[in-house]
Amino acid sequence: MDNGLLKEDAKSKLSGNWFKAAIITFIIWVLTDAFTQEAVVSFGSSGTTTVNSTNGLFTIISLIVAGPLAIGAVYFYMKIESGEEGNINLLFDGFQDFKRGLIFHIVSTIFIILWALLFIIPGFIAAIRYSMGYYLMVENPDMQPMDALRESSELMRGHKMDFLMFSLSFVGWFILSVITLGIGFLMLVPYYQMAKLNFYRKITGDERIGYDDFYKK
């Protein structure tokens, strides 16, 4: 697997779309992570317990919208892949497929957590196994979430180490993003997501550009 080629191609495809991709990254962060960083329940030094109801509400909202937003992000990056200019509104088109996105996110999260309870490494392996699920659902509108989990697991058979090495190739960018107090993630996430789509194309042996005309707007 030539990770360098996947990444170079990703940068080429993002040309002219970096700003919109950064905005999409920021929107997803605001809706899923920005207000869920503090503990829902905190314990004071005096033995008092405080329940942060507001944070709990944002955590629930994050759980509900994360899946549909992930599908919308796939629409956006596949639009760019097709050689067309990405539209930020594509992100919210994921809510047209709300049920599948919600179920896939909840079930995959539960499975990853359960594997992680056994040991941290099985949790990472589970996350890798299910990492292609959203692509599969977007390209197969009739595919159910549980089928997407199984298909993704089968697709990643023999490619888990490839994906791990692919992800580790972004470590330098990750460190730089942390050093810039998170600002760098506005560039790193689009770069990673576009390259990840290339990875998906590579392991499926699919050289097609673009996706179903239904999503071309």
pLDDT tens-place string over residues 153-182: 999 999 999 999 999 999 999 999 999 999
DSSP 169: T
Q: Beta-carbon neighbour count of residue 92 at 10 Å?
A: 14
- What does the block give as tokens for 169? 């190739």
Q: Are 200 and 209 in contact (CB under 8 A)?
A: no
Question: Which H or E run contains 50?
Answer: strand 49-51
- Of 40 and 99, which is predicted with more confidence? 99
CA distance 107 to 116: 14
- Would you place residue 146 in the very low, low, confident or very high pLDDT band (cuts 50, 70, 90)? very high
pLDDT tens-place string over residues 20-64: 999 999 999 999 987 665 444 444 444 444 444 456 677 888 899
